Each structure stands twice: as C-alpha cells, then as structure tokens.
Structure 1
Amino acid sequence: MANNKSALLVMDVQQGIVEMVSGGSKEFLTPWKNAIQAGRNADIPVMYVRVGFRSGYPEVSANNQFFSAITTYGGFVDSESSTQVHPEVAPHDGDLVVVKRRVSAFTGSDLEVALRSKQIDTLVLTGISTSGVVLSTLREASDKDYKLIVLSDACADHDEEVHRVLTEKVFPSQAQVTTVAEWAQSLGVGMLA
C-alpha cells in the first residue's frame, strides 16, 4: 500500500477546525493519532498542512465566496491559535508544516516543492473536511500524477452523508480508500490504539 516514497498528509487538523467539527468528543482525534504513529513507525514522513492568512487578509479576494466571509467575521489569521495544528496531534521536530491560502493543500503553499525534494510519489491523505481539503487535494494530486491513499476514518466532514458518498463512491476512482487500521497493517505496524 505504501512505500518509502510515501508521505502522510495531516490536513487542516487545526484547533479552530477541530473545535467546529468534533462536537467536543474526546475520541475524535484518535484516528489521526493512530495514522501519525503508524506513519512514524514505518519511517513515512508526516507532513502537516494548515490554512491561515496574514493580518488584513491580503490573500482573500472579494470574489471568493468561501474565504471572503472570513474577512467579515475575522479569524484564521496565521498567528491565532485557531490556525495552529491541534496539540493532540502536534508535529515533532523535523516534521514539515505547510501553510496554505486556499482549500487544496497545494494552492498557495510550498507543498509540491517539498514533495519533489523528497521524491515523494504517494500521498496518504487525512483531513478535515472530507468535502473540503481532502476532496480538493485529492483532485489536484491526481492531476499531478501522485498515487493516492485516503484513510477514510481519519477524514471528517460536517455532513456524514457527504463524507460517505465521497469515500465510498467518488474517491475510489482516483485513490485507494482504506482505514487507518488496514493501512497500519499493510505497513507491518498494526493497529496502535
């Protein structure tokens, strides 16, 4: 399933987004913790992607319906805690943390440069939300000819039905969709928690 040219992407698992989606569940981040540990145990680079903007939102166009709302209500400025990776899945020294300015992990970031420098050809995708960063990154990564694996239980969405349709019906045409436990087993590290 994975090889030494794989990278695990932990996308938008940041404090402000986890708070909005988790419903206060203490177990919500368990799949991400397990995926990160499995990746580390298999010597697969863990790369974090988070969304954030500079003060004053110079990256946000009034034409962008999704992001222009942020300029009205505020939040998600790079320096705020809402944009930081959630402490329960915090990066280790040496992990790459990429800041993006749009929905896809590639748009407005240096992710592709980092992937090329490490000769990564396979991306293992996790993130919040399935219909946002995971979908957008999967589509763009597929167009860039990356091999793709989606860890369905380490993806979450506000709408469970949208998550189900994407992971069961849409993603399989461009990616291998599996669970964290199945992926960990394929790496020879088994389930961790």
Structure 2
Amino acid sequence: MNEPSLDLARTALVLIDLQNSNVQRELAPYSAEQTVGNCVLLAQEMRTRGAMIVYVRVLVGELPAPLADAPMRSPGAAAPAYDASELSAMADVEATDIVVVKRQWGAFYGTELDQLLRRRRIDTLVLGGIATNFGVESTARAAFDRNYRLVFAEDAMSSFDAEAHRFAVSKIFPRMGRVRSTRALIDMLQAGTGDA
C-alpha cells in the first residue's frame, strides 16, 4: 500500500528548543551537533521547496517548577544564563522562518502556533528538536489531538537519555504518525516523490 504524499505547501517543519540551554547539554543517542545539523539540513531542503519552517524556543526561566519526584531543576537553583532561551547560532534560523515562544514543554499551549498553522492551511507537521521525550513528544501529542498528520525525523531529535529517545520513537511516535530518518526525508524531497 502506498503512503500518503507530503504536500509541502501544506506542511510545516517544526523544530523544538534548539536553544543554548539544550545544545550545551550532553544528549543521546545523537549529539547536539548531529541533532541540530540534521534539523538544519531538513530546514534547508524544505524551505527551498516552499514548506513553512517554525522554530520553537522555551523561556527556560518561566517553565513551571512543580513539586515532583524528579524535577527538571532544583528548588532554589540559580536563574538560567541570560541567553539560555535564545536559539543556538547552530540552528541557522533565517529571516523568513517563524519563531514561536513557549512557556511549557509543548509548543501549542499558550502560543499562537495552531493559529499560524491553520491560517496557512497546514495539515502536516514534520517534527524534530530537543528533547525527544519532553518538548517534541508534548508537541506531538497536542498536534495529534488537533488532527495534524505527523512525520518524525528520528535522527533530527535527541534526548538527555538514549533509552527515553528510543522508547518515544519506537513505541509512541509510530502510533501517531510516520518515523523516518533525515536522509530518507531528504532523499524523498530531492526525488520529488512527495512520499514520506
């Protein structure tokens, strides 16, 4: 059975949290350089073919700090560095790209992302970013609930733990959409087949 085509006029590449606070961390199974590099390759290919490119960044100092067994930051921890929430220079953001600012793990809650996508009649999202099982997965679940078609660029995302990444891409994401490598997506785009 043939897969549905990827209509780039109705597709957005949504890249999550490629910002200084994340690219400076030790990531697995892919390094920050590998992850961001693959995101940039996808953005270049998709941008030249008319797809919408969205970079999402989180205001680290405004993330909730609930009472939790394994909090993301310790109570009383020092404030993040002044540029922690800024997109990394490695992300290669261009002037035509859209930047969405969030204050939660997911990119939909409390942001204009859904409105921006719907105004452009976007119905398909290609997702990548840091971290797989936090910002990417939270965004994917919200997108799935909103009936977007999803494609996951498996090696254009990474996490703080390789097993957490593997679990998301092998057990969660295949139930919501299609999981592909960056190379497979680029080959498809360059071949002009439109299949993901």
Query: When the two structures are superposed, what TM-score results if normalisation uses the length of structure 1?
Result: 0.84
Secondary structure of the structure 2 residue equivalent to 1:106: coil
% identical equivalent positions: 28
1:107 aligns with 2:109: yes
1:7 aligns with 2:12: yes
Report the counterpart of residue 26 of structure 2 in structure 1: 21
Q: Is the 8 A contact 2:100 2:113 kept in 1?
A: yes
Distance 1:119 1:70, change over 3 A: farther
Name the stretch that deviates more: 36-45 or 130-139.
36-45
Q: Is the 8 A contact 2:24 2:32 kept in 1?
A: no
Given the alignment, which residue of 142, 146, 149 partners 2:148?
146
Given the alignment, which residue of 161, 164, 180 partners 2:163?
161
The unaligned stretches of length 5 or more in structure 2 are: none
Report the counterpart of residue 122 of structure 2 in structure 1: 120
Secondary structure of the structure 2 residue equivalent to 1:20: coil
Q: Is the 8 A contact 1:60 1:68 kept in 2?
A: no
Per-residue deviation, residues 90-111 of structure 1 (Å, max 9, x unmatched): 3211211000010011122111
Distance 1:74 1:117, change over 3 A: farther
Report the counterpart of residue 51 of structure 1 in structure 2: 58
Specify the code of the residue in structure 1 equivalent to 2:38. P
Q: Is the 8 A contact 2:47 2:53 kept in 1?
A: yes
Please state how far the C-alpha of 1:37 moved relative to its aligned partner: 1.1
Report the counterpart of residue 72 of structure 1 in structure 2: 76
Q: Give runs of ≥4 in structure 1 deviating > 4 Å.
A: 22-28, 61-68
Q: Is the 8 A contact 1:75 1:82 kept in 2?
A: no
Number of residue-to-residue matches in the alignment: 185
CA distance in 2, matches of 1:68, 1:62: 9
